[in-house]
Amino acid sequence: MFKKDISAGAKSKVKSSAQRAIRSKVLEEYPKLEPYIEDILPKKEQLDLVKLPDRVSLYTLNSTPLFFQHMDDALLPHLTLVHKYPTAFHRLRIDRGAIRFVLSGAALMAPGMTSPGGRLPSKDLSPEDQERYGTEDLEAGTVVVIEAEGKETACMVGVLKMGTGEMREKKKGQACEAGHYLGDGLWSMAL
């Protein structure tokens, strides 16, 4: 979505009613953020809405980007937010070989996650990984954070195109739509 460098458009303040709506939407989508919501979206603070090209809007708090949204699609977290609260999101892991493709903006393919270096939520994982990546299969359309083998921080945020169960069976095809990855236009945009 942000392969090219982008420049921020108009910045406007968010109405407090809209701000409440965002807050409840965030909590609905990412219930695990609940304990920290006051840190992320404080009730009293004024959120800003920054318009980006291609009908993407970005919500920022004091010029730290928080969430972005394409039209009325799901709210996706900005990677800096993911780095701060990694446990609050559904996570998948890709193997080392796939990192360089992801970081150059390719759509994520299923083999990157079904190979030994990748992790999908499953009951066969070691207890430690189960804790990290979950046991329940995720459905297409879920917002996921992509981590990488051997790295601690996430490298991409996207929406699943294929359920994880299907992925494991097919081991082929596009798994995740490229949303926002490290080093893309949204990442390097100065606010």
Partner 1 sequence: MADTLPIKVTYCGVCTLPPEYCEFGGTTKKCEEWLADKHPDMHQKLYSQEALAQNLSSLSVEAQKRAEKDAVKKANKAATAEKREAETRASSKIIIKRIERNKRKYVTAVSGLEAFGLDIKKVSKDFGKKFATGASVTKLPGGGEEITVQGDLSEDIEEFLVKTYKEVPEDNIELVEDKKKTKGEKAAANVPAQ
Tell me how far CA of residue 181 lies from CA of 28, 80, 127, 134, 136, in angstroms: 24, 11, 28, 22, 25
What token pair was written down for 21?
Answer: 């709506």
CB of 144 vs partner 1, minimal distance in Å: 18
Enumerate residues 6+ apart whose C-beta is below 8 A from 15: none
The residue among 11, 18, 4 whose CA lies nearest residue 51 is 11
Q: Give the nearer residue to partner 1 in terms of CB position, either 131 or 139.
A: 131
CB of 11 vs partner 1, minimal distance in Å: 13
Stretch that binds partner 1, among 10-18, 49-57, 106-114, 145-153 (CB under 8 A): 145-153
Q: Give the nearer residue to partner 1 in terms of CB position, either 39 or 177.
A: 39
Among 151, 169, 170, 173, the residue binding partner 1 under the rule CB under 8 A is 151
Class of residue 24 by CB neighbours under 10 A (exposed 0-12, middle 13-18, buried 19+): exposed
What token pair was written down for 155?
Answer: 């490298």
What token pair was written down for 158?
Answer: 């996207």
CB of 103 vs partner 1, minimal distance in Å: 5
Residue 106 interacting with partner 1 (CB under 8 A):
no
Q: Give the nearer residue to partner 1 in terms of CB position, either 5 or 139.
A: 5
Binding site for partner 1 (CB under 8 A): 7, 35-36, 39, 80, 83-87, 95-97, 99-100, 103, 117, 149-153, 155, 182-183, 187-188
